Amino acid sequence: MPPASTSASPEDVQQLLRAVALHQLSVTDEQAARLAHYCHLLWDWNSRLNLTRHTDWDLFVTRDLLDTIALSAHVPKDSTVMDVGSGGGVPGIVLAILRPDLKVALCESIGKKAVALQAIVKALRLPIVVHADRAETILKKHRFQVLTVRAVGSISKLLTCFSPVWKSVGQMLLIKGPRWTEEVEEAESEGLLNRLKLQSITEWPTPGRDGQSVLLQIVKAK
């Protein structure tokens, strides 16, 4: 097990803040300190587990932080949130740092990754519950106003998995890349959107990549 990391150094926080400013984003000093600490914890664990490919400040900011800031603006205040397939904790842990009003849970079915997430959450002293199970199983017992999903699977795969437990979900917010329109067409052709409403609610460019990232909202049709 990687050793527990102390809080980030002032120089680390400054490096993060420089990357944030370079890409015209904004976080508070307190958020920057916690985000830098999170990165150190994540990168420590990443030396043993495959949790992230974003192992420098610029990649963290332009991939993980940028996506989560875009998502954060569309999560209702004081919501209960479950991050599906959390992996290294993005967007779930980053969202909890940016939005302390939210009640965030992480869902990770791979046991070793769930152990790493639990250790990271404990070191950061964040009030986050980590579920070491499949999201469909958790939703048989718990309800969440928002599910967040990034880099977990196709829209068809997700809707197939969640169809039996949709009553436990208020809305699903998915971060997707430029292929999202093809995934929507596939889901429509399979009849998976018949009683649901899907819409794109915001999009943004990712530095160093072609095309736009997009935030999709899926809710039950009225």
User: pLDDT tens digits, residue range 139-158?
Assistant: 999 999 999 999 888 999 99
pLDDT of residue 6: 56
Helix (H) or strand (E) holding 117: helix 111-124
pLDDT of residue 50: 85
Q: Are strands 212-220 and 169-176 parallel, antiparallel or unpaired?
A: antiparallel
Reduce the DSSP state of residue 145 to 3 states and report it. strand
Give the bridge partners for 202, in sequence order.
215
pLDDT of residue 102: 98
pLDDT of residue 16: 97
- Running DSSP on this structure, what letter comes out for residue 167? G
pLDDT tens-place string over residues 43-79: 999 988 889 999 999 999 999 999 999 999 999 999 9
Helix (H) or strand (E) holding 68: helix 66-72
Is residue 78 within 8 A of residue 142, CB to CB? The reply is no
Instruction: Look over the chain and give the mean of its residue pLDDT values, rounded to a whole number.
Output: 93
Instruction: Give the span between the Cα atoms of 97 and 114, in whole angstroms.
Output: 19
Residue with tokens 């842990």, as numbered in its chain:
93
CATH number of 67-220: 3.40.50.150
Instruction: Return the closest-CA partner of residue 155 out of 137, 179, 136, 131.
Output: 179
Sequence ranges of the domains in the chain = 67-220
Edge-to-edge strand order for the sheet containing 212-220? 129-131, 103-107, 80-84, 144-150, 169-176, 212-220, 196-205
Whether residue 2 has pLDDT greater than 60? no
Whether residue 3 has pLDDT greater than 60? no
Q: What is the mean predicted confidence (pLDDT) over 158-177?
A: 95
pLDDT of residue 151: 84
Whether residue 4 has pLDDT greater than 80? no
Name the region of 191 (left: φ>0; alpha: ψ -120 to 50; beta: rest). Answer: left
pTM tops 0.85:
yes
